[in-house]
Chains A and B, each alone.
Chain A
Amino acid sequence: MKPATFEYHRVGTVGEAVERLGELGEDAKLLAGGQSLVPMMNFRLARPPALVDISRVAELRYLTREGDTLRIGALTSHLAIERMDAPELLDGFSFLKEAAHWVGHYPIRTRGTFGGSVAHADPAAEWCLLAVLLDAEIVARGPGGERTIAAADFLLGFLTNALDPDEVLVEVRFPRPASRAALHEYARRRGDFAIVAAAVAVDVEEDTCRSARIVIGGVDDVPVRIGEAEAALAGSRLEAEAIEEAAQAAARAVDPASDIHGSAEYRRHLTAVLVTRALGEARGSEDGARSKNGAG
């Protein structure tokens, strides 16, 4: 569990990072919090010939609100999200804070970064789920300047994103608040990647659900939106029957694979259970999207 030989470059700005990536060729990798990349290197599952360490690029460490939009600098740690307490940040975005404690363990949250997690594109990662759920925009900077990519277009497959080799993910933007959103997930141990995770957001007007969004993680190569389940809720009063119908629709729609953590059938079952629980919470909460630990 010693990594293969690699070159190490530390940079101080995004510009330098882009430049260095250009020089080093397409197999070079950015190093952010190192909480996914370094274990993979130690197992020699990843063998980047060169690392460009951006962990000290101060300009990428921020959390700001501009109107409806929440802007998260790529190097913002999971812990900074968990500790978010300014009312202007929390208003409409407290679901992020609530979801943060699901991400790994405390030491991992102190080092792991929001941008790193989204770039890493694990299909069960909380930030990837929420980014898809709420149409986050991913801002990338490359030699030709900046571009913005919709989260659903950014996550291309298992651990695969839409960045060019010389692009840096600089920011993740959540364009609008979601006062009724919730994330529920289940793993057999605290801190593990979810076997299945369900993220939901509902817009409710006068007790009627105007629209709903449901995203499931852990059942495919990317987090998947479940249109059938969303449709089952639109126009409902989020009553138990509607939620049950949505949960069953979600369970039918997903097509998970089996592994040692759970069979396909179990994942399907969990999908229904977690969608039910997440919707129950979202229905009940006005900007209080609390995640509950089903694992206990």
Chain B
Amino acid sequence: MTVVGQSIRRLEDPRLLRGLGHFVDDVNRPGQVWMRVVRASTAHARLAGVDLDGARALDGVHAALAAGDVDPLPVIPLRLGPADEPLDAYLQPVLAQERVRYVGEPVAVVVADDPYLAEDAAELVRVRYEELPVALDAAEAVAEGSPALRDDAPNECTTLRRGYGEVDEAFAGAARVVSVDVRVGRHFAVPLETRGLVAEYDAADGHLTLWGATKVPHFNRLVLAGMLGMPVHRISLRRSDAGGGFGARGELYPEDFLVAHLARRLNRAVKWIEDRAENLVAMNHSREQTRRLEAAFDAEHRLLAIRDELWHDNGAYLRTHGAVVAELTLGMLLGPYRVPAYEGVAHVALTNKTPCGTYRGPGRYEATFARERLLDAAVAELRVDRLELRRINLLRPDELPLERKLPVLGSEAIIDVGDFPGLLEQALEAAGYAEWCEEAAAARAEGRLVGAGVGVFMEKSGGGRFETAAVQVDPSGAVRVATGGASVGQGIETAMAQIAADELGVDVARIDVVAGDTDTIGDGVGSWASRSTIMGGSAVKLAAAATADKARRVAAELLEAAPEDLRLEGGRITVAGAPGRGMSLGEASAAYDPQLAERLGEAPGEAFGLGAQRSFTNVAIAFPYGVHLALVEVDPGTGAVRILRYHVAYDVGRAVNPMIVEGQLVGGAAQGIGGALLEDFRYAPSGQPLGASFMDYLLPTAAEIPPVGTSIHEDAPSPANPLGVKGAGEGGTVGCGAALAGAVDDAVGVAGAVRALPITPEQVLAALQVVETGTGTR
């Protein structure tokens, strides 16, 4: 039996559960000093002056810098995204220059002996602002007459136009046209661990070491090298455990540069641990969009075309993610449905709010909510059952592969495999949806407001050019697997070990996985886009297979057997049919030196013990797909929504570790439910954030999250990678808004009633009034 496919316990957990994890705040270096960022207290202003004297005069303060003290002053570069237009004018300098554009923008930094003193010193920095009018709403910000964030560039930083087919014709010939206006609030990834970094500079070697980078360490190293004017090989980013990433934590931010810059400038270790109040205004926000969708149907309820126009609020700057979330929102809008023609326009607007980036299921959470809202609204207009409408329009397996002329992460979307209608039926069955509906009907008969909802979606995963892996067998027989992917708490070490174990015939307990350490592996792309198992896992498989081949060749030589007769099992290489003849993998590694390599006819220069390094290159996106189902009860008095039942069905092609996949789905659902019912980062008319603590930004607690049922499906393995896997990290989140909105509609008896996330009690009560005045459908 293979190790892949088994729910083995996570290799990370023994250290995490015993408090032995290496989180960035666990790192303390001799003589370290603490950085504190002085952040803009106003949303839009000309910077009339930054007076650092008070801070500099405080005992125990080592440095205080503003933009003018850093030359050259770098900007945060794009890492991803479409460039329909040049976007340089919108990038964020590491310290505000001339203007501040959101509350929380770094204006200055101070360094002091301890974090308390650093905060005292930060308070002594005097910033003089000349207030400017603010732009806070995406649609208004791009309209004529809006306050401008920049003198030389419009607030609409880019307008993305995507589509295919004859849309106007389709609408002209439609039997029915349905439209909705929807909104998704400003959500925030809220990793349990805030950001943090420790940087240490070794003046003797001119070497900089950084702790705390996660997600994309090799990219960050490359960018830092450029910003600092240092060769890449003089910078090491050490791996660390991470208390959550979700797309936001681990990107390159202004602080990444500032900490490194200060460590070198002061020739001392500099530590920065973001506090929660900073985290809520400084780390990427996400999701906020308003959107108008229009669908043309024929008389048989078949979709003919969709028109889509959206206003994406990206906050004050473009950061590493550029405009990728807006592009993904267009590219993934159609999901698993058959849509002959499509026209999408995204207005990417800059506003005086915290900049935005990706957050678990970026673009798909928003798009799935919008599209499924459109379908639920169509249900009312077309007088068709909502499951039936979906069955009619879901792509059938015989229609795949389908080349959809919409770019997704820079690749053309080729939906290669899947059985979308099949999964819908399986999901209904697994959840016991028919019983839910009976339960709802019985409750309604008692006068309670109970309803069910469905969200069908397609995810995307993988991409990002390539990933690397290096496998090395130790003379003891232990194996080290290094990957360019990074641990963001997702269980990458376990999954990589399972994949390597099968190739090498080694117990997972003997495998050490090092993820995201730039010294251990020279290049890599990182952990995002649900790509690590697809890309990193495939690279590990290739490297482990190459290592196994090498082991066979070595053993064949030493055991005088044919390589094809050799078995790798239990850490040993044995001759088939002669179990007494064999050697351990460790012995093979010890024996493999340049001379032996030469004897084997291999280039001696490449032999450094038994191991191999491989990259997996593939730009194809894998499209997992799933269904979310929800049963809710609405309190007609308070407008509160209580989730009675919840189910996620998800096809991941192949689950390397089903327990981990389940964990991803449940945790993902918790975040999706939070965004659907509670979370919204709001601003006062002045641009002051109103959600800057957990009293006001309503993260769900365990009490708000129901038990989440899951069914993990492996009907459609990906043909695009050797493991057949598709990403599992985001599907738990993507369908929540759609399913819960549908369930609330059903409970209040008004199809399409919910138009915005989060579904606030006030929105629910407004919908109920519709029922009372008699325009409901039930």
Residues of chain A whose beta carbon lies under 8 Å from any beta carbon of chain B: 1-5, 43-44, 105, 186, 188-193, 259-263, 266, 269-270, 273-274, 276-277, 294-296
Contacts and interface: CB of A to CB of B under 8 A. Distances in A.
Interface stretch (B413-421, B502-510, B700-708): B700-708
Contacts of A43: 277, 693
Contacts of B633: 296
21 contacts: A1-B277, A2-B275, A3-B116, A105-B701, A186-B640, A188-B678, A189-B678, A189-B698, A189-B700, A189-B703, A191-B703, A260-B691, A260-B696, A263-B762, A266-B761, A266-B765, A273-B637, A276-B637, A294-B635, A294-B637, A294-B640
Interface in B667-705: 678, 680, 682, 690-691, 693, 695-696, 698, 700-701, 703-704
Interface string B109-122: 00000011001100
Given A2-B116, A260-B696, A295-B640, A191 B635 contact: no
A277 B120 contact: no
Contacts of B642: 295-296
Contacts, number: 71
Interface in B632-646: 633, 635, 637-640, 642
Contact of A266 (B277, B680, B703, B762): B762
B276 interface: yes
Interface in B591-605: none
Leading 8 A-B pairs by shortest Cβ distance: A296-B642, A190-B703, A273-B637, A1-B275, A2-B116, A186-B638, A2-B119, A260-B690
A294 B633 CA distance: 12
Contacts of B701: 105, 189-191
Interface of B: 115-116, 119-120, 123, 275-277, 633, 635, 637-640, 642, 678, 680, 682, 690-691, 693, 695-696, 698, 700-701, 703-704, 761-762, 765
A295 B634 CA distance: 10
Contacts of A274: 637
B209 to A, nearest CB: 26
Contacts of A262: 761-762
Contacts of B637: 270, 273-274, 276-277, 294
Grouping DSSP codes into helix (H, G, I), strand (E, B) and loop, the B interface class, with mixed when no group exceeds half, is: loop
B761 A188 contact: yes
Contacts of A3: 116
Given A2-B275, A189-B704, 18 more contacts: A2-B116, A4-B119, A43-B277, A189-B700, A189-B703, A190-B701, A190-B703, A192-B695, A262-B762, A270-B637, A273-B638, A274-B637, A294-B635, A294-B637, A294-B638, A295-B635, A295-B638, A296-B640
Contacts of A269: 765
Contacts of B695: 192-193
A276 B636 CA distance: 13
Nearest to B681: A260
Contacts of A186: 638, 640
Grouping DSSP codes into helix (H, G, I), strand (E, B) and loop, the A interface class, with mixed when no group exceeds half, is: loop
A186 to B, nearest CB: 5
A296 B635 contact: yes
A154 B254 CA distance: 49
Contacts of B691: 260
A12 to B, nearest CB: 28
A188 B679 CA distance: 11
Contacts of A263: 762
Nearest to A196: B638
A5 B119 CA distance: 11
Contacts of A266: 639, 761-762, 765
Most B C-beta atoms less than 10 A away, residue of A191, A260, A262, A273: A260
B448 to A, nearest CB: 12
Contacts of A5: 116, 120
Contacts of B698: 188-189, 192
Contacts of A295: 635, 638, 640, 642
Contact of A190 (B639, B682, B704): B704
A131 B594 CA distance: 85
A90 B536 CA distance: 62
A191 B704 CA distance: 11
A270 B638 contact: yes
Contacts of B116: 2-3, 5
Contact of A1 (B276, B638, B640): B276
A185 B693 CA distance: 22
Nearest to A277: B637
Most B C-beta atoms less than 10 A away, residue of A2, A4, A261, A263: A2
A105 B116 CA distance: 28
A149 to B, nearest CB: 29
B271 to A, nearest CB: 14
A145 B120 CA distance: 39
B120 A4 contact: yes
A188 B120 CA distance: 35
A3 B691 CA distance: 21
Given A43-B693, A296-B633, A260 B682 contact: yes
B193 to A, nearest CB: 15
A46 to B, nearest CB: 14
Contacts of B762: 262-263, 266
Contacts of B693: 43
A185 to B, nearest CB: 10
Nearest to B683: A260
Nearest to A3: B116
B136 to A, nearest CB: 14
Contacts of B277: 1, 43
B115 A2 contact: yes
Nearest to B277: A1
A186 B633 CA distance: 16
Contacts of A277: 637
Contacts of B119: 2, 4, 44
Contacts of A4: 119-120
A266 B703 CA distance: 23
A200 B118 CA distance: 49
A73 B402 CA distance: 73
A270 B636 CA distance: 11
Contacts of A273: 637-638
A290 B693 CA distance: 31
Nearest to A272: B637
Nearest to B36: A2
Contacts of A260: 680, 682, 690-691, 696
A1 B761 CA distance: 32
Nearest to A294: B638
B696 to A, nearest CB: 6
Contacts of A294: 635, 637-638, 640
A192 to B, nearest CB: 7
Nearest to B116: A2
Most A C-beta atoms less than 10 A away, residue of B120, B633, B635, B761: B761
